[in-house]
């Protein structure tokens, strides 16, 4: 697949339509189990009820599981993508039973040339809001694509 | 955690050493996260992609660092920001240790706002696999 900056530049600033995500207890427990985190706030409803959260809590990176919708016309190469950076700003905790709306946008594209050849750097933003429209979490993900490079992934 | 947890610049965060990463864990994380890229689970695919075998999801390692922070804070604090750069690949059998050090402390009426450098490294080689920063607040 031949990909260059020109494929992405027109999509900078384009966002997906927000998608409804319901935060399920089972999904929190499965995620916590997969990362090997036995924190009672993620697993034990009684402990969570007694906590200041009142309900099962999602681990910090749980929002990775959400459906953020499709950025219209964005086609990513299937191989050669490397996850370069990931960051979160937490505004409100994510709790079991929350109904949240998640969307993603392409916010920047850069091209760099280095020892390892040409790199296209894509920056995606992710937004999670609650039903009242309050911001719950924002995150940013930097993905590096090497058109001529090897296929190392994150 | 006890009430009134306090931090000072230069404090080391309590480190977290995770059990060795397993292939089963990568399958579980794929299922739980919805990231089914076969480089994490299918050995022949990862070999053909030139990776020399399956590699862990970068976000799994980030979750380990997240656990170090939430274990530290318990209910006495809350994470405000958390960001990392992925430096090196993690593979099955790797043992990951997460660490951090306090870089800035600000006091306010509710408690402290604490900034720290955080990272994860392979044990025992010490090679860093992720490096970043986090900020959290603590409650009095």
Q: Do B64 and B93 have their domain in common?
A: yes
Q: What percentage of chain A has pLDDT greater than the value 90?
A: 79
**pLDDT-based confidence at B1, cuts 50/70/90?**
very low
Searching chain A, which residue's CA lies closest to the CA of residue B36?
A65
Q: Residue length, chain B?
A: 140
Q: Do B86 and B133 have their domain in common?
A: yes
Strands B95-108, B16-17: pairing kind: antiparallel
| Rg of chain A taking only CA atoms, in angstroms | 18
State the pLDDT at residue B3.
Answer: 57
**pLDDT-based confidence at A81, cuts 50/70/90?**
confident
CB contact under 8 A, B28 and A93: no
Number of H helices, E strands in chain A: 4, 5
B77-134, pLDDT tens digit by residue? Answer: 999 999 999 999 999 999 999 999 999 999 999 999 999 999 999 999 999 999 999 9
* Whether the Cβ atoms of residue A150 and residue A144 lie closer than 8 Å to each other: no
A107-132, pLDDT tens digit by residue? Answer: 999 999 877 788 999 999 999 999 99
State the pLDDT at residue B115.
Answer: 98
Q: Give CA B19 to chain center in angstroms.
A: 13
State the pLDDT at residue A80.
Answer: 78
ipTM metric: 0.95
Q: Is the pLDDT of residue A143 over 50?
A: yes
B21-74, pLDDT tens digit by residue? Answer: 999 999 999 999 999 999 999 999 999 988 999 999 999 999 999 999 999 999
**pLDDT-based confidence at A1, cuts 50/70/90?**
low
* Whether the Cβ atoms of residue A29 and residue A39 lie closer than 8 Å to each other: no
Size of interface A-B (CB pairs under 8 A): 109
Q: Do B71 and B124 have their domain in common?
A: yes
Q: Do B14 and B70 have their domain in common?
A: yes
* Partner B contacted by A69 (CB < 8 A): no
**pLDDT-based confidence at A146, cuts 50/70/90?**
confident
Q: Do B94 and B136 have their domain in common?
A: yes
Domain at B65, CATH number: 3.10.129.10
Question: What is the SS3 assignment for B47?
Answer: helix
**pLDDT-based confidence at A76, cuts 50/70/90?**
confident
**How many structural domains comprise chain B?**
2
Q: Do B39 and B66 have their domain in common?
A: no
State the pLDDT at residue A9.
Answer: 94
* Partner B contacted by A27 (CB < 8 A): yes
Q: Is the pLDDT of residue A68 over 80?
A: yes
Domains located in chain A, CATH noted: 5-22+67-145 (3.10.129.10)
Q: Do B1 and B63 have their domain in common?
A: yes
CA–CA dist A153, B51 (Å, integer)? 8
Helix H or strand E segment including B24: helix B23-33
Question: What is the SS3 assignment for A60?
Answer: coil
* Whether the Cβ atoms of residue A3 and residue A89 lie closer than 8 Å to each other: no
Q: Give CA B84 to chain center in angstroms.
A: 9
State the pLDDT at residue B2.
Answer: 47
Q: Is the pLDDT of residue A87 over 90?
A: yes
Q: Do B63 and B106 have their domain in common?
A: yes
Helix H or strand E segment including B111: strand B111-123
Q: Do B87 and B75 have their domain in common?
A: yes
**What number is the average pLDDT over the span A9-24?**
97
- Determine the structural domain holding residue B114 and report its residue range: 1-20+56-140
State the pLDDT at residue A25.
Answer: 97
Q: Do B62 and B126 have their domain in common?
A: yes
Q: Do B67 and B125 have their domain in common?
A: yes
Q: Is the pLDDT of residue A149 over 70?
A: no
* Whether the Cβ atoms of residue A80 and residue A42 lie closer than 8 Å to each other: no
State the pLDDT at residue B46.
Answer: 93
Q: Phi first, then psi: what are they for B129, rounded to 5°?
A: -110, -30
In A123-152, the residues whose Cβ lies within 8 Å of chain B are: 140, 150-152
State the pLDDT at residue A103.
Answer: 98
CB contact under 8 A, B31 and A30: yes
């Amino acid at each position: 697949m031949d990909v260059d900056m020109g494929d992405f530049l027109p999509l900078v600033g384009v966002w997906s339509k927000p998608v409804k995500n319901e935060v399920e207890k089972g999904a929190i427990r499965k995620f916590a189990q997969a990362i090997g985190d036995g924190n009672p706030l993620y697993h034990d409803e009684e402990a969570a009820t007694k906590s200041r959260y009142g309900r099962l809590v999602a681990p910090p990176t749980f929002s990775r599981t959400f459906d953020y919708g499709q950025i219209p016309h964005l086609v990513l190469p299937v191989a050669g993508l490397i996850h370069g950076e990931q960051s979160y700003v937490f505004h409100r905790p994510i709790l079991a039973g929350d109904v949240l709306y998640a969307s993603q946008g392409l916010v920047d594209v850069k091209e760099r040339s280095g020892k390892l050849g040409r790199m296209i750097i894509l920056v995606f933003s992710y937004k999670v809001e609650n039903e009242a429209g309050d911001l719950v979490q924002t995150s940013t993900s930097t993905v590096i694509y090497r058109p001529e490079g090897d296929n190392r992934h994150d | 955690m006890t009430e009134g947890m306090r931090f000072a610049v230069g404090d080391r965060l309590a480190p977290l050493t995770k059990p060795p990463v397993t292939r089963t864990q990568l399958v579980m994380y794929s299922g739980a996260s919805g990231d089914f890229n076969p480089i994490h689970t299918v050995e022949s695919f990862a070999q053909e992609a030139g990776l020399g075998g399956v590699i862990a999801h970068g976000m799994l390692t980030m979750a380990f660092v997240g656990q170090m922070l939430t274990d530290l804070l318990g209910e006495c604090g809350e994470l405000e920001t958390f960001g990392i750069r992925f430096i090196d690949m993690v593979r099955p059998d790797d043992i990951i240790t997460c660490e951090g050090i306090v870089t800035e402390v600000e006091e306010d009426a509710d408690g402290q706002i604490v900034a720290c450098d955080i990272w994860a490294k392979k044990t025992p080689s010490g090679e860093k696999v992720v490096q970043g920063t986090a900020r959290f607040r603590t409650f009095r």
